[in-house]
Chains A and B, each alone.
Chain A
Amino acid sequence: MNFDLENIIKKCQANDRLAQNQLYEHYKGILYSISLRYMGDKMSAEDAFVEAFFKIFDKINDYQGAGSFEGWMKKITVNECLMSLRKKNNLRLAVELADWQVSESPVALEILNMEDLAHAIEELPPGYRTIFNMYEIDGFKHREIADELGISINTSKSQLILAKKRLREIIKKKQTIKLFNSKS
């Protein structure tokens, strides 16, 4: 299918349902994956995904063509997920380890395939998962995370460290299980 994004955006701005469906079909995979990554479970991810797409169509006239359209849609999806997590009061980020230094050693994350890594991220508690997603995958800076979540920069940094620590544990567990299964 020929995908002329500029033309489709124009049609979507005129509320053309066919164009809206084309846009949806083209980006549903990536935006659903983002929702799943942030929300951690299928049902919440679906709710956030529907809300995000609805907002995209509703606010498409606000898109002025500055920056990538995909980036704009991703931002809306991430914001929708954060809002949803906030509503569910799932962003508990109480532990602040201000003196922790960010000294990362390359961990087992690299030897995992994307599917396993995605599942491991989904198993993180919501607070850790959110910060890991925002910093490591979506490229937010600690200052931006702090502003977005209403926390201090140090909290953001320490939560990221704890998130990675937990992720390593999850991955280690998964690898042990895999190893055990392959031997038996």
Chain B
Amino acid sequence: MSNQNYKEIDHRGIQPDAKLWLRIEDKLDGVKTERKLVRYQRIALAASILAIVFSSAYLYTFYNHYRSEAFAFNDKSHPVIIEQMSGDVSPLYDLVNLRTIKYAYEGIN
């Protein structure tokens, strides 16, 4: 018997259960939802990254502005501020002190 004759075996008219189409549909719908979720997650992630970048840039500008203003104005007359801002402190520490510097600067003005 040749392959060609054997192939008739798949043309016997066997039909699968009608419920199987519903299972396939469910799977297709599931993947659709999953892909939508992944897309939303990616958008949310990109938005978060942008928000972090912009807020960091904003904070950096804000920080630099008050820092340089404070330095210029309080060169000798306000040693406390200078002391707070100088020395071996991390930028984060500087940032924490920013409110103090800002209030001091505004108070002096």
Contacts and interface: CB of A to CB of B under 8 A. Distances in A.
A109 interface: yes
Interface of A: 15, 17, 20-21, 24, 28-30, 32-34, 36-37, 46, 49-50, 53-54, 57-58, 106, 109-110, 114-115, 117-118, 121, 136-139
A107 to B, nearest CB: 9
A50 B10 contact: no
B3 A49 contact: no
B15 A32 contact: yes
B28 A30 contact: no
B12 A118 contact: yes
Q: Which 3 A-B pairs have the closest CB atoms?
A: A32-B16, A33-B10, A137-B6
B14 A36 contact: yes
Interface of B: 1, 3, 6-17, 20-21, 23-25, 27-28, 31-32
Contacts of B21: 21, 24, 28
A138 B6 CA distance: 9
B3 A136 contact: yes
Contacts of B20: 28, 32, 46, 49-50, 53
